[in-house]
Amino acid sequence: MGALSNIKIADFSRVLAGPYATMLLADMGAEVIKVERPVLGDDTRTWGPPYDAAGNATYFQSVNRNKRAVTADFSTQQGRAKALEIISTCDVLVENFAPGTMEKFGLGYSDLAAKFPTLIFCSISGFGSGEVARTLPGYDLLVQAMSGLMSITGSDAQHPTKVGVALVDVIAGLHTSLGILAAINHRHVSGHGQKIEINLLSSALSAMVNQSGAYAGAGVTPTAMGNAHPSIAPYEVYETKEKKIVIAVGNDAQFAKFCVAIGADFAHDPRFATNPERVKNRNVLNELLTPLLAHKSAAQWSEVLAKVGVPAGPINTIAEGVQFAQSLGLAPIVTITDPRDGAVSKTIANPITFSATPVEYHLGPPSLGADD
């Protein structure tokens, strides 16, 4: 029995934030019913390449395992009735249509709360439900730009760069799952459902933590610094004899160990003795480190520095990252044979480990309308 095996979720969401949240909850035992448009389905069913061996878009596959799948056309009375029937059996509803869409079909929060007062209704949008916000399309790339995330990502301030994955969608999905769990607990105490609103912009601002916090708390507007850290040094990417390495020295004690390991006496130099001084003299320090690090490969330095407790490691490809996780016994890839049609899928494992209620993988990503 999964931790959420008593919870049933109607998943009306598409693309990434909502499906990611509901997949995580499904891994923990929740029964998730994915409701899609007939014929077309979730947009990401056609977002490829790449495709898996069976021709399925891996984008869709990556966030939709452990779900049942039905279709419903909200523009028809029959489709709306089917949606209501599903909702009537569920504890939670998740949707990320354009604001006002669910209301247009009589499936908005006020309509449903009157019929199902214990329902938890979670709505995900790009910018919120305000009058102006409702008119803005909520795409991850757009929010990365407008939130300021791209302004702190890239080689410098002149080259704003998006993160290499739809990170804001993922973070919004995590906030969604957290909000749902909190609302479930509140319902357990009070007996009442409620509406949860998650938007990508607020999620991005929250997720920029120390960077957005610098503006909130000190009026400082951060800018892109490449791989350097605005508040810690040395904490960035360095060239070695073979392959680049990340060295992440977090405090003065680590820096002293680092200096011994590389055969330098920088820890007693007043320019580098404390972290604020190292940040101030970052460029000078890096010029001194470059020739020293060139004597060994990234793998060799990683081994040397690990022995003295200094965080360091090579910059891997995703394939190498997965292989590294496998070497640590983390089992990062799960293979599922779907009992509905025998389809075999491979996806990245849920990262949460429970001692009493482990995550389980019962269903692969469903074909469109697999459970109609």
Domain boundaries, the chain: 8-207+330-348, 235-323
The predicted pLDDT at position 137 comes to 84
How many residues in total does the chain contain? 372
Residues 6+ positions from 211 with CB-CB distance below 8 Å = 148, 152, 222, 230
The two structure tokens encoding residue 342: 């025998």
Per-residue pLDDT tens digits of the chain, which is 372 residues long: 899 999 999 999 999 999 999 999 999 999 999 999 999 999 999 999 999 999 999 999 999 999 999 999 999 999 999 999 999 999 999 999 999 999 999 999 999 999 999 999 999 999 998 989 888 888 999 999 999 999 999 999 999 999 999 999 999 999 999 999 999 999 999 999 999 999 999 999 999 999 999 999 999 999 999 999 999 999 999 999 999 999 999 999 999 999 999 999 999 999 999 999 999 999 999 999 999 999 999 999 999 999 999 999 999 999 999 999 999 999 999 999 999 999 999 999 999 999 999 999 999 999 999 999
CATH code for 235-323? 3.30.1540.10
C-alpha triplet 316, 321, 326: angle, nearest 5°:
145
CA dihedral 244, 250, 253, 257 (to 10 degrees): -10
Question: Is 111 assigned a catalytic role?
Answer: no
CA separation for the pair 113, 115 (Å, rounded) = 5
CA separation for the pair 32, 26 (Å, rounded) = 6
The predicted pLDDT at position 146 comes to 97
Give the SS3 label for residue 320.
helix
- Out of 52, 169, 338, 341, the active site residue is 169
Q: Do domains 8-207+330-348 and 235-323 have the same CATH topology?
A: no
Which helix (H) or strand (E) covers residue 82, if one does?
helix 77-88
CA separation for the pair 167, 326 (Å, rounded) = 24
Give the residue from 337, 346, 261 showing the smallest Cα distance to 304.
261
Query: At the fourth CATH level, which superfamily is domain 8-207+330-348?
Result: Crotonobetainyl-coa:carnitine coa-transferase; domain 1 (3.40.50.10540)
C-alpha triplet 189, 192, 198: angle, nearest 5°:
100
Please, are residues 193 and 183 in contact by the beta-carbon 8 Å criterion? Answer: yes
Q: For the whole prediction, is pTM greater than 0.85?
A: yes
Give the residue from 10, 54, 53, 13 showing the smallest Cα distance to 30.
10
The number of angstroms, rounded, from the C-alpha of 129 to the middle of its chain's C-alpha atoms is: 22
Longest dimension (CA), the chain: 77
Give the residue from 217, 180, 181, 211 showing the smallest Cα distance to 197.
180
